[in-house]
Amino acid sequence: MAGVTDRMLVGGGDRGVDARTESTVAETERWFVRQGLPHFIAEYTATGNVLPRSVPVLALAFLFSVTTTVSPARPLSQTLLAVLGTFLVLVGVWAAVNLARGRPPLARPATVGPVEVGVFLFVPAVIDLLVGTPEAAVATVLVNAAQLAAIYYATSYGLLPMAVWSVVQVGRRVDLARRLVVRTFPLLLLAVTFLIFNATAWDSLTSTSVLRYLLLLLLFLAVTLLTLYRGVTGEFERLPAVDTPEEIRDLAANSPVADIASTTELRPDAVPPLSPAERRNVLVMATFTTFVYVMGVTLGVLGFFLLFGVLAIPTDVIVELVGRPTTPLFTVTLSREPITVTGELVRISGFLSVFSALYFAVHAITDRTFREGLDNHIAGRVRAALAVRAVYWNVRDRQQDSVDDAR
């Protein structure tokens, strides 16, 4: 985040801004990222903030892309040479860009622009052309573009720290997940029972290719996310207000700006209204937190269906349901009786689980008791972030006043 600090601080340390204040601002920006609200950082940009944080993951994705572009039919020596050459090109471009910007050759880039993005997108495709597979070049560019988009948006909205925080909160608020299960699972079990013993469902889900099966699961998960987002949008269309300096100080007490908030006069006029990107970030955070709750319950349901299938549906019955030999994954012995988990059982259990996730999502946004409990939990987090944001902008405003006075 050192690069973020250089760009975020108005005036900078070389203009006499207090070093302690600079450190607090930098730590506050890191705090926003950990809270899953990185768009609260002032002047948050793709080239200056998002992509530089993505560099380690992009580098790994780049090397993986290079490795997969080399044909398996090629000798191992050619594969190794292609990967080594590409790695040297990557390091060379990295060092050249840093030197041109006056930075150490191997330092993480402070900004990532068109040159770096172009290398990520097109160099593996060039290797496809060099090894004589031009038909794969376009596919490689498209796959790399999809990887870049996924990594960019995951980093832009801080999905990884957001997921970590949400998982911790699920562990602390198990009562909400238990309430969701108790109110929905019995009826859900009745609804899916016909699928568990339906031969057509078993044959359809187990005979399709792995890719089509995964796309089917992703389709259900996407609909689940969209359902949650629509529900959260209605709940958080008007964000909770944080108005008075006293309230701001109380809410920011456990944040990096706690000391500054307690000793500084806070000016409401220094805090700009939330931008569309910031509001969208809040909605994404609220949706993702609810989604983690739903997925936590869904994983439990997956375990139940696997256990139920192992105990209630012997392997010979599965053979009759699918009309062909099964694919055993592993076998355990219970009281001298072998119990086999098959690939077919895993597939049907996975589908029933994502189907259940959609059912849980609908219930999560319509059940008032669950919704109020979770919304209050999320609203408290949002109000704390808004309070920290208010202090953060007051500090920046004061820095700008210092620069103006110096001029």
Give pLDDT tens digits for 112-121: 888 788 878 8
Average pLDDT of the chain to the nearest whole number? 81
Query: Per the domain annotation, does 19 fall within a domain?
Result: no
How do residues 290-344 score in pLDDT, each as one tens digit? 898 888 889 989 999 999 988 888 888 889 888 888 888 888 887 778 888 899 9
Q: Which residue has the tokens 């139940």?
A: 304
Task: Give DSSP secondary structure letters for 300-332.
Answer: HHHHHHHHHHHHHS-HHHHHHHHTS---EEEEE
Q: What pLDDT, on a 0 to 100 scale, did the predictor assign at position 11?
A: 37
Q: Is the pLDDT of residue 404 over 60?
A: no
Average pLDDT over every residue of 93-104: 78
Q: What pLDDT, on a 0 to 100 scale, did the predictor assign at position 6?
A: 38
Query: Per the domain annotation, does 223 fall within a domain?
Result: no
Write phi, then psi, for 192 (nearest 5 degrees): -100, -5
The larger pLDDT score, comparing residue 397 to residue 254, is at 254
Query: What are the helix and strand counts (H, E) for the chain?
Result: 16, 2
Q: What pLDDT, on a 0 to 100 scale, did the predictor assign at position 212?
A: 93
With a pLDDT cut of 90, the percent of the chain lying above it is 15
How do residues 43-93 score in pLDDT, each as one tens digit? 898 888 898 888 888 888 887 887 776 655 666 676 677 667 767 777 787
Q: What pLDDT, on a 0 to 100 scale, did the predictor assign at position 14?
A: 41
Cβ atoms within 10 A of the Cβ of 277, count? 13
The larger pLDDT score, comparing residue 138 to residue 10, is at 138
What kind and span of H or E run contains 333?
Answer: strand 328-334
How do residues 260-289 score in pLDDT, each as one tens digit? 887 777 777 778 888 889 989 988 988 888
Structural domain count of the chain: 1
How do residues 149-190 score in pLDDT, each as one tens digit? 999 999 999 888 888 888 887 777 777 777 777 878 888 888
> What is the spatial distance between Cα 299 and Cα 184, in angstroms, rounded to a whole number?
15
Query: Per the domain annotation, does 119 fall within a domain?
Result: yes
Q: Is the pLDDT of residue 3 over 80?
A: no
Query: Per the domain annotation, does 26 fall within a domain?
Result: no
The pTM of the full predicted model, rounded to 2 decimals, is 0.76
Write phi, then psi, for 339 (nearest 5 degrees): -120, 120
Nearest-CA neighbor of 109 among 130, 129, 90? 90
**Domain of residue 54, residue span:** 37-156
Q: Quickly state the pLDDT bin for 231 (edges 50, 70, 90).
A: confident
How do residues 204-230 score in pLDDT, each as one tens digit? 899 989 999 999 999 999 999 999 988
The DSSP bridge partners found for residue 342 are 328
Query: Per the domain annotation, does 178 fall within a domain?
Result: no
Query: Per the domain annotation, does 113 fall within a domain?
Result: yes
Q: Quickly state the pLDDT bin for 94 (edges 50, 70, 90).
A: confident
In sequence order, the 6+-apart residues with CB closer than 8 A to the CB of 123 are 62, 66, 86, 89, 90
CA-to-CA separations, 112 to 167, 228, 258, in angstroms, rounded? 31, 33, 33
Query: Per the domain annotation, does 152 fall within a domain?
Result: yes
Q: Quickly state the pLDDT bin for 9 (edges 50, 70, 90).
A: very low
- Given a contact cutoff of 8 angstroms between Cβ atoms, the answer to whether 252 and 242 are in contact is no
Cβ atoms within 10 A of the Cβ of 173, count? 15
Query: Per the domain annotation, does 377 fall within a domain?
Result: no
Q: What pLDDT, on a 0 to 100 scale, did the predictor assign at position 17?
A: 45
